[in-house]
């Protein structure tokens, strides 16, 4: 290979390498990668939060002897609420098919019903029914739920199928404790169904 040909080959190789590096770092490619990444992390459509009054909330809490109920009171402005919410979403995913009802009741302002609340729920990939307590004075509603509560957020209550409170936590939940309490309710229900099946 002559010196001239060798120089041309080396020059072409350098141009190809430079071109390839320009392609991998081009603004258009970087934008495409960023758009693809944002689509992967984009929030899913969230459940619509519904405004309820104190009487409607009490109706939601009533049990018919069929399923236990987990209720979490929270707000988008409450840091511990935001911190524990991913774990509550996992609990809902793990136990809803096993017979646990779960509702989340927001104490945000009514103005957040169509903005901050659904935006947060979408980021959390939440699928449970969500309500926003719309009352002028939340204290009577809070006292009706539990006179010892005081309204601090987050607050979590687990009711058995007959409406008795079997677990409550003011402040961030201990996920292991909550799961153990749910397991007791779900397992006892499954055992009751199994025993009925055996009897028949």
Give the pLDDT of the chain (200 residues) as one tens digit per residue.
555 445 555 555 544 454 544 444 455 545 555 554 544 445 456 568 999 999 999 999 998 888 999 999 999 999 999 999 999 999 999 999 999 999 999 999 999 999 999 999 999 999 999 999 999 999 999 999 999 999 999 999 999 999 999 999 999 999 999 999 999 999 865 544 443 434 44
62 within domain boundaries:
yes
Tell me how many degrees the CA angle 162-165-171 measures, rounded to the nearest 5.
Answer: 150
162 within domain boundaries:
yes
Question: Looking at residue 128, which CATH number applies to its domain?
Answer: 3.40.30.10
pTM recorded for the entire structure? 0.73
73 within domain boundaries:
yes
10 within domain boundaries:
no
Host domain of residue 167: 49-199
Helix (H) or strand (E) holding 161: none
Q: Take residue 6 and report the two structure tokens written for it.
A: 């060798």
114 within domain boundaries:
yes
Count structural domains, the chain.
1
| Spatial distance between the Cα atoms of 158 and 180, rounded to a whole number of angstroms | 11
191 within domain boundaries:
yes
Phi-psi region of 73 (alpha: psi -120 to 50; beta: other; left: phi over 0): beta
Cα 108 to Cα 69, 104, 145, 185, distances in angstroms: 22, 12, 18, 30
CA atoms within 13 A on the CB side of 99: 20
């Amino acid at each position: 290979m002559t010196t001239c040909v060798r120089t041309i080959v080396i020059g072409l190789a350098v141009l190809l390498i430079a071109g390839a590096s320009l392609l991998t770092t081009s603004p258009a490619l970087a934008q495409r990668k960023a758009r693809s990444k944002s689509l992967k992390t984009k929030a899913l459509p969230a459940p619509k939060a519904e405004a309820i009054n104190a009487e409607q909330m009490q109706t939601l809490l009533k049990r018919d002897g069929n399923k236990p109920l987990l209720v979490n009171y929270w707000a988008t402005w409450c840091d511990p609420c935001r911190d524990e919410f991913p774990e509550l979403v996992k609990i809902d995913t793990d136990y809803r098919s096993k017979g646990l009802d779960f509702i989340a009741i927001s104490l945000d302002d009514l103005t957040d019903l169509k903005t901050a609340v659904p935006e947060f729920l979408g980021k959390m990939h939440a699928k449970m029914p969500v309500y926003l307590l719309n009352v002028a004075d939340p204290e009577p509603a809070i006292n009706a739920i539990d006179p010892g509560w005081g309204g601090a957020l987050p607050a979590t209550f687990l009711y058995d199928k007959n409406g008795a409170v079997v677990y409550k936590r003011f402040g961030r939940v201990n996920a292991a404790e909550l799961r153990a309490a749910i397991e007791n309710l779900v397992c006892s229900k499954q055992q009751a169904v199994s025993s009925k099946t055996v009897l028949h």
